[in-house]
Amino acid sequence: MTSLYAVLGGTFDPIHYGHTATSEILAEKLNLKKIILLPTYNSLCHNQSIISVQHKVKMIKLAIKNKPLFKINYLEIKKKYLIL
């Protein structure tokens, strides 16, 4: 059986209920195994995020603390670039 994963990228500046709730609905409808959150280092619209990357990651971790469906991928943060 194939496992489906989804990738949700964004600035998450800040992450909010709209990110997690809609993702959970999508996961239920499509029978997704995981949703991978891919936070950007910088915003596409702004030269720099309003909050620090470290603070953004802490907020994301708090938002998904009891949600095993979610996982964070640090690729864009570690490399300091944006994948389009």
Indicate whether 84 belongs to any domain. Answer: no
Range of the domain at 43: 4-79
User: Is 8 among the domain residues?
Assistant: yes
The CATH number for 70's domain is 3.40.50.620
pLDDT tens, residue by residue, 2-24: 899 999 998 898 899 999 999 99
* Closest alpha carbon to 8 in 32, 54, 31: 32
pLDDT, tens digit, for every residue of 26-75? 999 999 999 999 998 876 665 566 778 889 999 999 999 999 999 999 99
**Residue 66, domain member (yes or no):** yes
Q: How many beta carbons lie within 10 A of that of residue 53, not counting itself?
A: 19
Q: Domains in the chain: how many in total?
A: 1
- DSSP structural state of residue 33: E
Dig out the tokens for 35 from the structure. 């949703």
Please say whether the beta carbons of 35 and 27 come within 8 A. yes
Q: Give the DSSP H or E segment for 53.
A: helix 53-63
